[in-house]
């Protein structure tokens, strides 16, 4: 049976309704809304850990469109919907009429008649924006070529749990200025985290993302350092974060990228520059010996599996809020 105080606390959180809102990129949410989602995730996580059944999404269905392979995204969304009392329906993009040329606009309108929200993991962010434009239900970005908002929320949740705060935490990201990096820095800047990004020349954050990060940081009082020097970014960092050097869709560039990113590996030397109690984070899957050494990712400062678990709780908060 649900603890009355826990339920009252959660319902108080839910009064800040985001019902019907799309989740395409994190900077479409205010810092206050992101904080609300994090607190909601913490509450839902506590409920689940204590065996309290809370199913606000009974009778609701989440349609899940996958054009890209997935482990964490598919499992966490399916389990999350089940725990919230709803149903998650897997749909391969290749098996839908989208794969035979049906317009995205038509698909959006049809699925809006069947399901209560759509989560899509695909290549083109523009396609997700088009889906959201024509759908009458919430659209959740499970990953595109430009953004990965659900991962960023889980990342902030993980830092909050381990550090007890977000404001003033120094986070260093080393590697490719990709979709994961983009959402990570936007969420961090909005929540007052000091952002340090070290990328090789030619692999920086998109200009629009970098400028938006600075604007969000100015509002929250956070600091932003964009550099090509991994040591500068890592010095005194509370969090070290990296991602694969070759994301899906860039496999043809793998050999070039291995050379370009060679000095950006998070290894024992880089870890020594960070605060002794730093967290090591990676969105997974990881390639040990490339972007990170086994000693770091499997070491005592690593929280990568807490991160992976928190995809479940962060996404449950999103689902409960928008559905």
What residue segments make up the domains of the chain, in order of their start? 4-148+311-322, 151-308
pLDDT on residue 95: 82
Mean pLDDT along residues 251-256? 90
In terms of Cα–Cα distance, which of 164, 162, 314, 318 is closest to 241? 162
Give the Cα separation of 297 and 241 in Å (integer): 10
Tell me the CATH number for domain 4-148+311-322: 3.40.50.1370
> Residue 283 annotated as binding?
yes
What's the per-residue H, E or C state across the chain?
CCCHHHHHHHHHHHCCCCCCCCECCHHHCCHHHHHHHHHHHHHHHHHHHCCCCCCCCCCCEEEEEECCCCCHHHHHHHHHHHHCCCEEEEEECCCCHHHHCCCHHHHHHHHHHHCCEEEEECCCHHHHHHHHHHCCCCEEEEECCCCCHHHHHHHHHHHHHHHCCCCCCEEEEECCCCHHHHHHHHHHHHCCCEEEEECCCCCCCCHHHHHHHHHHHHHHCCCEEEECCHHHHHCCCCEEEECCCCCCCCHHHHHHHHHHCHHHCECHHHHHHCCCCCEEEECCCCCECCCECHHHHCCCCECHHHHHHHHHHHHHHHHHHHC
Residue 164 has pLDDT above 60, yes or no: yes
**Catalytic hit among 25, 125, 196, 311:** 311
Average model confidence (pLDDT) across the chain = 94
Mean of the pLDDT values across residues 233-238? 98
148 belongs to an annotated ligand binding site = yes
- Of the listed ranges 8-12, 210-214, 295-299, 306-310, the least confidently predicted one is 8-12
Catalytic residue among 146, 278, 283, 315: 283
Catalytic one among 243, 257, 278, 282? 243
Report whether 151 belongs to an annotated binding site: yes
In this prediction, residue 14 carries a pLDDT of: 60
**Residue 74 annotated to the active site:** no
Q: Which of 121, 125, 146, 257 is catalytic?
A: 121
Task: Give the model's pLDDT for residue 17.
Answer: 80
Active-site choice (151, 212, 265, 315): 151
What's the pLDDT band for 8 if we cut at 50, 70, 90? low
Catalytic status, residue 125: no
pLDDT at position 250 is 79
pLDDT recorded at residue 101 = 82
pLDDT at position 185 is 98
Q: Give the pLDDT mean for 185-211.
A: 98
pLDDT at residue 316 above 80? Answer: yes
Q: Is 2 labelled as part of a ligand binding site?
A: no
Given pLDDT bands bounded at 50, 70 and 90, which one contains residue 216?
very high
* Whole-angstrom distance, CA of residue 231 vs CA of residue 234: 5
> Is residue 172's pLDDT more than 60?
yes
Q: How far apart are CA 84 and CA 97, in angstroms?
A: 29
Q: Which single residue is written with the structure tokens 């936007």?
A: 186
121: annotated active-site residue: yes
> Per residue in 92-101, pLDDT tens?
988 888 767 8
72 belongs to an annotated ligand binding site: yes
Give the pLDDT mean for 290-317: 98
Q: Which of 98-112, 252-266, 303-317 has the lowest mean pLDDT?
A: 98-112
Indicate which residue of 125, 148, 278, 313 is catalytic: 148
148 included as an active-site residue: yes
The pLDDT confidence band at residue 24, using thresholds 50, 70 and 90, is very high
Give the per-residue pLDDT at 11.
Answer: 59
Task: Give the integer Cα–Cα distance in Å for 162 and 172.
Answer: 16
Q: What pLDDT shows up at residue 247? A: 81
Domains 4-148+311-322 and 151-308 equal at CATH topology level: yes
Mean pLDDT for 261-289 is 98
315 is in an annotated binding site: no
**Residues counted in the chain:** 323
What's the predicted TM-score (pTM) here? 0.94
pLDDT tens for residues 44-66? 999 999 999 899 999 999 999 99
| 311 labelled binding-site residue | yes
Is residue 188 very low, low, confident or very high in pLDDT (cuts 50, 70, 90)?
very high
* Angle at CA of residue 288, ends 286 and 294, nearest 5°: 115
The answer to whether the beta carbons of residues 73 and 142 sit under 8 Å apart is: yes
Per-residue model confidence (pLDDT) at position 10: 57
Q: How many Cβ atoms are within 10 Å of 7's Cβ, its own excluded?
A: 15
Residue 157, Cβ neighbours under 10 Å: how many? 25
243 is catalytic: yes
Distance CA 189, CA 212 (A): 9
Residue 90 confidence (pLDDT)? 96
**277 in catalytic set:** no
Determine the pLDDT at residue 4.
56
Q: What is the model's pLDDT at position 152? A: 98
Residue 179 annotated as part of some ligand binding site:
yes
Determine the average pLDDT of the residues in 115-131.
97
Alpha-carbon distance of 9 to 287, in angstroms, equals: 41
CATH class of 151-308: alpha beta
Q: Look up residue 275 and give its two tokens.
A: 């605060």
């Amino acid at each position: 049976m649900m603890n009355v105080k826990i339920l009252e606390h959660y319902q108080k959180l839910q009064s800040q309704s985001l019902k019907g809102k799309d989740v395409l990129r994190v900077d479409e949410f205010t810092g206050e809304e992101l904080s609300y989602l994090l607190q909601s995730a913490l509450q839902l996580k506590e409920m689940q850990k204590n065996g309290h059944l809370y199913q606000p999404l009974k009778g609701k269905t989440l349609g899940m469109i996958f054009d890209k392979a997935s482990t964490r995204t598919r499992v966490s969304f399916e389990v999350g919907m089940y725990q919230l009392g709803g149903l998650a329906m897997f749909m391969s993009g290749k098996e839908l009429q989208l794969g035979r040329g049906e317009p995205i606009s038509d698909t959006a309108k049809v699925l809006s008649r069947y399901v209560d929200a759509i989560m899509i993991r695909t290549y083109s962010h523009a396609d997700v924006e088009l889906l959201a434009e024509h759908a009458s239900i919430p659209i959740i970005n499970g990953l595109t070529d430009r953004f990965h908002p659900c991962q960023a929320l889980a990342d902030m949740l993980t830092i909050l749990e381990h550090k007890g705060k977000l404001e003033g935490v120094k986070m260093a990201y080393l590697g490719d200025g990709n979709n994961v990096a983009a959402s990570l820095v936007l969420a961090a800047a909005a929540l007052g985290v000091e952002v340090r990004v070290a990328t090789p020349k030619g692999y920086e954050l998109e200009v629009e993302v970098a400028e938006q990060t600075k604007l969000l940081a100015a509002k929250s009082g956070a600091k932003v350092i964009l550099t090509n020097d991994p040591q500068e970014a890592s010095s005194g960092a509370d969090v070290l974060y990296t991602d694969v050097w070759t994301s899906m869709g860039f496999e043809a560039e793998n050999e070039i990228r291995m050379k370009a990113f060679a000095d950006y590996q998070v290894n024992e030397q880089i870890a020594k520059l960070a605060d002794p109690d730093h967290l090591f984070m990676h969105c997974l899957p990881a390639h040990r010996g490339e972007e990170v050494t086994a000693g770091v990712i499997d070491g005592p400062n690593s929280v990568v599996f807490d991160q992976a678990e928190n995809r479940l709780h962060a996404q449950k908060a999103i689902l409960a809020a928008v559905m």
